[in-house]
Each structure stands twice: as C-alpha cells, then as structure tokens.
Chains A and B, each alone.
Chain A
Amino acid sequence: MRDVAVVGFAQRQMKEFEGSPTCVELLVPIFAELFEQTGWTKSDIGFWCSGSSDYLAGRAFSFVSAVDAIGAFPPVAESHVEMDAAWALYEAWLKIQTGEVDTALVYGFGKSSAGVLRRTLALQLDPYTMTPLWPDTVSIAALQARLGLEGGHWTEKDLAAVAQRSLADAADNPYAIRSGKEGVDELLARPLYADPLHKHDCSPVTDGAAAIIIAAKDHLPTTAERPAWISGFAHSVDQADLGSRDLSGSPSARRAAISANVGGAPIDVAELHAPFSHQELILRKELGLDDSVSINPSGGALTANPMFSAGLIRIGEAAKQIWSGDAQRTLGHATSGPALQQNLVCVMEANR
C-alpha cells in the first residue's frame, strides 16, 4: 500500500446559495483556496474526482458543467460518483494506490435548496416499491428513531443531548448554518417535527461545496508540515429494503469500521456524518467509539448538511484536527442513502 495523506481542505456551507445549480461559481474560490494552501497549481493535480447529483441540480450532466471550475483544457484525468464526495475521495485514494497518479483533488457540491430536498431524495429508494409512494427522508429517519426509542436503544433525552452538544459546538464553526445555546430540557419542550423527531434532530437543508487534496508520500506539497496520513479507508452497504434491515443498528458501518481498523488504537476525534440525532448514537455504537472520543467538534451534520459534500467535510474536519496538532488519530465518516444504508470510514493519523 502507498502512504497517502490529506493535505488540503476547503469548504463553503450556506442556507441558500444564490448562484447556479452547478455551483461552478462556488467551486472556483474553493479550488483557489486549496492552491493557496498547497502552493500548487492545477498542473500539480494528477486526478480529479467529484461527487454530486443531477437530480439535485435539476439539470442533466451538471457535473460536466462543474468541470469548468477546474479549467480542464488541456484535458485532465477526471471522474465522478453520484454519491457524497467522500466516495469520490475513496476512488481517488484507490487511483493513487494503483500508482497511476500521485496526487488528487476531490470535490463535492450540491444546491439542495433548488428543489424540495426530501422529495428529491425519494429517487434514491427502490424504484418499484418505494419511490412511487414518495416517502420523504425525514419520515424514514423518524421511523428509524421510533424503533430505537421503543426498542430501548435510546431515549428522547439522548437525542436531545446530541442536538444540544452539536448546536453548542457549531457556535465556533463559521460554516455552520445553525447553532444554539439551548439546554436539553429546552430542546425537548419544542414542538415535534416528524414524530418522534424535533426539527433540531434533523439536519437543515444546506447548500454548499467542499474539496480535499490528497497526495502520496514523496509527492506532498512543501506546505504540509503535519499531514493527516490515511491509515484505514473502507466503505460498506446494507440492503435497500428498509423492512428487512434492523434499522436500530448499521451493519455496514460496523463492517467499514472493522475494515478500516478503527479499533486498532484510540481515536481522539471522530467527525460523524449523522444527518439525524439518533444516527449519531447508532454510529458511535457500531464504530466502537466510547465516551473518551470527542464527537463532531465542528457541530456535525445537524448544524449544516450540504448534500454530496457533508461526508467529505467530515473527513476534512477530522484531518484539520491532525494538522493543528490537537489530535494524533482521528476518524471521518460519511453516509449515503436512507437511514444510514451506506457508510464510509476514513481513519487518519499524525504518524505514518
């Protein structure tokens, strides 16, 4: 295996992006920021990979328009996944493992506010037995939350505690679109949104984009003083039929954690992509994270959840913890699909 490190990260998150659904105007300054961080230009990038969805943009081949932001002439090596860009990062990491390239820039973008997000996401469900009913994402998560509540896996207070901590932590994150100082009791007193979930248990509809640069050993930018070395990287998927899954757990998250050797040494900070409060509780259990682990110091997806980049942002936030010297070993997690169907885990370390 080649040693690969995360060496650059930039993000933008906002309630409503005023520009085009291809977000090309949003990607241009993000790429510029990455080049400033690394001292590189586009010719230093061996491979480009993005995560986005045309259904979000309401426009065919929107990811091709986004390539304009690269300045892709002369032609560049480029690929795309219809997944959170964390999976694009996985593809780029594999590409570096093949030895074909040494560096990659990975980006994700999405203008969730262009449509009705909870309807748009019904298109990721089984097209024969589910999409025709248009089940919305929030309702599916609520069914999952109730199963855990009534099955004794968590309490309403546990959910509120996750929201309380996330909102408080988000106060220090300039990109978060939601934050607050309310206590658990205040949150519980709020009206229900999708019984048994409150609005603060559900991630806000968010527009945004993010990008990460990874590079192989001997190809790092000179600016990388304390690179975040990727020591474990894995993803897994559970079956699509919601009724056949035990929704109070996430076998795919557990499998990904085992493959990425999360339990091999203590984790200092974990950034979990949990768009709903109870999903953080599922992930902490399945990834084997105890109370000593700092969870989502950025505020996490409950305070900003741009589609197709929120997972990549978790990895970027976890890498920053290593760059700054605050942590030795961190974890970034991404999810995709309904009710934690697909999960990806990226473990990063200060020491190679």
Chain B
Amino acid sequence: MTGLRDGHVVGGRTSDGVVRVPPPEFDPVTHAATTDFVGVASEGTVVSWTWVPEPVKAQPLDHPFAWALVKLDGADTAIMHAVDVASNDAIHTGMRVRIRWAAERVGAITDIACFEPADTAEHSESFSADEGSAEGVTGVITPVSLDYVYAASPEESAFFRGMAEGRILGQRCPVCRKVYVPPRGACPVDGVPTTDEVELAGSGTVTTFCIVNVPFLGQRITPPYVSAYVLLDGADIAFLHLIQGIDAHDVRMGMRVEAVWKPREEWGTTIENILHFQPNGEPDAAYETYEGHL
C-alpha cells in the first residue's frame, strides 16, 4: 500500500519463486510472513476480461467498462482491476494495458484509478522520488455502504400500521398465551406465529435500564440519557425505549411510565411516533410484578 501511495506496484516473491501481486501477507506454502518484496511494472497484459454494461455503485468507473485480470510485467500472477475502454470490442486477451493513477494517492488499492490501453498517450507521473522515503502506510480505510429494501413481516406490519393510528398493538401466542409487543413471526417459546391482536395501554413499568454515557455516530440525544425495558401493562415481553422527563440518575427499576407521543400530524408507520416514555406519577410497581421479566 505504501508503494501504491508512492506510485509504483510492489509484489512479493514467495518460497516457490512466484512473484505475486498484490503480495500476500503470508507464504501459501511455508506460511511465513512475506519479506521478499519486488517492484513490478505499471504496465502489463490482459489475461482475461469481461464487460460491465451497467456498473454498480462504488466500482472504479461510473460508465461501462471492462474488468480484467492483468499480469503486470515482472509479476507471475494477475491482479483484478477495471480497464477504461469504450466498448467490449476495444479489449482482448493479450492486450497491453497500463495503470492510470488516481489524482490523489493515499495508500489504497483505489490509488490505481483503473487501467487504460498502453497505446494511449503517456500520463505524466506526478510523484517525486522523495515521496518514496516518506513513512510507510500502516492502515487502510474501506468505506462500505449497502442499500436494502426492508420488508416488514406480517406481524411487524400490523404493529407499524397500529403505530400510524396511535395504537400500540401486540399479539398473543396461540399456544402459550403470552402477549408479544412488537408481535413476531414466531413465538420464541413455541415456534409458531403470534396471532390474536391485543391493544396495549401506553403505560408500563421499567424492568431494567441503562444510562448511555458513550457518544456514537448517529446519536440523536446528548448523553447521559436512559434506554430502558418497559413492560407495558398487559404485555409479557418488555419493550425497549427511551426514558425522558426525569434526570437520568433518578430512573429506577419498577418506575411507572407512560408513552409520550409526537403531535398527531407527524405520525407515520414508525416506532418514532412515540418520542419517549416519562414517569406517570404512579407509585413504583412492586418487584414481584416484574421479576419474571428480568
């Protein structure tokens, strides 16, 4: 990766005499750490290729391109990377290609922006020899972002539709008669879907809780704040939510709380309709009433 940052490709010679690019961390035969590093050319030959008419997000090029296995001169193994050519007629096995370096190099595989046909005009190499003596690259950051279409199960759908009407809907397991909220695709005791709908009150008892002191990415409330399990009246499974309206250090097990809803016009099919729970003024519940839920 240091080599890439400095604008040249480094391979590793393994115990079988093979120069591998990229260099493996460990020798595939002796399992010893690779120590024999060899510089290879930034030009090479296409060993195999395929055409990508519709690139997917975060691939090296955002227009149609070819993937290829390229054997760089001086290397015995091929590296997979993109080749920027106009069409699948413009690439063939045996074609000579050259690295197009990224404008800014940081010490990552993406420092190779892509390959291009070696017969195009030479790009000027932008690095100086001095850069090669700079400190080695010790880490790589690979951002990963995946998109999903989330489908709610039938039971979750019932719950979220209830939310949009300001109702907290649970379901009863037809076998053990326990009420789950949110309802689930299968009762974890009996392995059957929960069925009969049960509307639950907005009030309940804090069974256990934690005070969040640690900041993290995407956090919406400033710590310290309280996440708690609230056992809604009539439910058999506690429900995770926030406790507000009371100093974090005064929250306690057995405390009676009620749901605080957003203004009606902001309701959607989301758990966020309930902003948080807050003390409802009732005396604390006796330990025996919730000890089975800890």
B50 and A20 contacting across the interface, CB-CB below 8 Å: no
In the complex, B244 has a CB within 8 A of chain A: no
Across the interface, which residues of B come within 8 angstroms of A111, CB to CB?
151
In the assembled complex, B49 has its CB within 8 A of some CB on chain A: yes
Tell whether, in the assembled complex, residue B80 and residue A73 are in contact, meaning their CB atoms are under 8 Å apart: no
**A232 in the interface, Cβ–Cβ < 8 Å?**
no
Distance in Å from the Cβ of B52 to the closest Cβ of chain A? Answer: 6
Contact of A195 among B78, B88, B189 (CB under 8 A): B88
Task: Tell me the smallest distance from the CB of B269 to a CB of chain A, in Å.
Answer: 15
State how many residues of chain B have any CB contact under 8 Å with chain A: 56
CB <8 Å contact, A118 and B56: yes
Q: What distance in Å separates the Cβ of A298 from its nearest Cβ neighbour in chain B? A: 27
Whether A22 touches B185, Cβ cut-off 8 Å, given contacts A133-B81, A135-B67, is yes
Q: Is A157 an interface residue (CB 8 A)?
A: no
A147-B185 contact in complex given A58-B146, A123-B144, C-beta closer than 8 Å: no
CA gap between A247 and B148 in the complex, in Å: 32
Q: How far is the CA of A194 from the CA of B189 in the complex (A)?
A: 47
Bound-complex Cα distance A21 to B150 (A): 7
Bound-state Cα–Cα, A192 to B50, Å: 11
The answer to whether A195 touches B110, judged by C-beta atoms less than 8 angstroms apart, is no
Cα(A239)–Cα(B140), bound, Å: 22
**B79 CB-CB contact with A under 8 Å:** yes
Q: Does B24 contact A (CB under 8 A)?
A: yes
A133 touches B191 (CB 8 A): no
Bound complex: CA A132 to CA B149 (Å) = 23
A143 contact from B50, B187, B193, Cβ within 8 A: B50
Known: A21-B150, A119-B56. A194 touches B187 (CB 8 A): no
A134 to B62, CA, bound (A): 12
Is the contact region of chain B dominated by helix, strand, or loop, or is it mixed? loop
Q: Which residues of B contact A22 (CB under 8 A)?
A: 153, 185
**Chain A residues, CB < 8 A from B270:** none
Query: How close is A97's CB to chain B, nearest CB, in angstroms?
Result: 27
Q: Which of A70, A118, A135, A145 has the most CB of B within 10 A?
A: A135
Q: Interface 1/0s, chain A 140-176, versus B by CB < 8 A? A: 1011111100100000000000000000000000000
CA distance A194 to B49 in the complex (A): 10
- B59 interfacial by beta-carbon distance below 8 Å: yes
A114 interfacial by beta-carbon distance below 8 Å: yes
Which of A21, A55, A128, A150 is the one whose CB lies under 8 Å from B146? A55
Residue B58 lies at the interface, judged by CB distance under 8 Å to chain A: yes
The residue of chain A having its C-beta at the shortest distance from the C-beta of B47 within the complex is A147
Which among B22, B51, B80 has the greatest number of chain A C-beta atoms within 10 A? B80
Interface string of A71-115 (1 = CB under 8 A from B): 111000000000000000000000000000000000000010111
Stretch at the interface among A23-31, A262-270, A316-324: A23-31
A134 close to B153 (CB less than 8 A):
no
Residues of B contacting A17 in the complex (Cβ-Cβ under 8 angstroms) = 151
Complex contacts, A242 vs chain B, CB 8 Å: 69, 78, 80
Q: A132-B110, A146-B48 are in contact. Are A20 and B153 (CB under 8 A)?
A: yes
Question: Interface residues of A toward B: which range?
Answer: 35 or more
CB distance from A243 to the nearest CB of B (A): 4
Q: Mark B166-201, 1 if CB is under 8 A from A, else 0.
A: 000000000000000000111111111100000000
In the assembled complex, how far is the CB of residue A159 from the closest CB belonging to chain B, in whole angstroms?
14
Q: Does B234 contact A (CB under 8 A)?
A: no
Q: How far is the CA of A192 from the CA of B146 in the complex (A)?
A: 27
Taking the complex as formed, is A258 at the interface, i.e. its CB lies under 8 A from any CB of chain B? no
Residue in chain A with minimal CB distance to B4: A129
Report if A243-B189 is in contact (Cβ < 8 Å); known contacts: A25-B153, A131-B144, A135-B67: no
Q: Are A18 and B151 in contact (CB under 8 A)?
A: yes
Partner of A42, one of B20, B148, B154, B191: B191
> Is A116 close to B, CB under 8 A?
yes
Asked if A24 and B184 make an inter-chain contact with CB atoms under 8 angstroms apart, the answer reads: yes
B40 close to chain A: CB less than 8 A: no
Identify the closest chain A residue to B66 (Cβ).
A195
Q: How far is the CA of A110 from the CA of B186 in the complex (A)?
A: 17
Q: Inside 8 A of B68's CB, which chain A residues have their CB? A: 143
Q: What residues of B have a CB within 8 angstroms of the CB of A114 in the complex?
A: 148-151
For A27, give the chain B residue with the smallest CB separation: B186
* A146 with B50: CB separation less than 8 A: yes
A327 within 8 A of B: no
Interface residue? B119 (CB, 8 A): no
In the complex, which residues of chain A have a beta carbon less than 8 angstroms from the beta carbon of B147? 115-116
List, sorted by A's number, 20 A–B pairs whose CB atoms are closer than 8 Å: A19-B185, A20-B185, A24-B153, A24-B184, A25-B193, A28-B185, A68-B184, A71-B188, A72-B191, A115-B147, A116-B146, A128-B109, A130-B109, A132-B109, A133-B59, A136-B59, A143-B48, A147-B48, A239-B24, A243-B79
* 9 closest cross-chain pairs (CB), A and B: A71-B191, A142-B50, A58-B148, A243-B78, A20-B153, A24-B185, A195-B51, A68-B186, A25-B185
Inter-chain pairs besides A115-B147, A194-B51, 19 sampled, C-beta below 8 Å? A19-B151, A20-B185, A28-B185, A28-B193, A31-B191, A68-B184, A69-B185, A71-B186, A114-B150, A131-B144, A132-B110, A133-B110, A135-B67, A143-B68, A150-B48, A239-B24, A243-B80, A244-B77, A247-B48
